[in-house]
Amino acid sequence: MTREKSFRTLIRTLGERTMEPIVFIGRVVSVLPQLRNPRRLRLRETLYYLDLCGAKSLPIVLAICFLMGVVMAVNGQIQLSKVGQEIFVVDLVGFAVLKEFGPLMVALIATGRAGSAFAAEIGTMKVDEEISALETMGITPEAYLVLPKLIAMLIALPLLTVLGDAAGLLGGMLIGTTTMGIPVPTYWSRTLEVLDYMTFLLGAAKSLVFAVVVTLAGCYCGFVAQNDALGVGRAATSAVVASIFLVVIADVIITILYSFIGY
Q: Is residue 41 part of a domain?
A: no
Which domain covers residue 252, as residue numbers? 46-260
Question: Is 2 contained in some domain?
Answer: no
The answer to whether residue 96 sits within a structural domain is yes
Predicted confidence band at 9 (pLDDT cuts at 50, 70, 90)? low
What percentage of the chain carries pLDDT values higher than 70? 91
| Mean pLDDT score across all residues of the chain | 83
Q: For residue 76, is it within any domain?
A: yes
In order, the DSSP letters of the chain are -HHHHHHHHHHHHHHHHHHHHHHHHHHHHHHGGGGG-GGGS-HHHHHHHHHHHTGGGHHHHHHHHHHHHHHHHHHHHHHHGGGT-GGGHHHHHHHIIIIIIHHHHHHHHHIIIIIHHHHHHHHHHHHTTHHHHHHHTT--HIIIIIHHHHHHHHHHHHHHHHHHHHHHHHHHHHHHHHTS---HHHHHHHHHHH--HHHHHHHHHHHHHHHHHHHHHHHHHHHT--SSHHHHHHHHHHHHHHHHHHHHHHHHHHHHHHHHTT-
pLDDT tens digits for range 211-260: 999 999 999 888 888 888 788 888 888 889 989 999 999 999 998 888 88
The count of domains in the chain is 1
What's the whole-model pTM score?
A: 0.86
Please check whether residue 123 lies inside any domain of the structure: yes
Identify whether 212 is part of a domain: yes
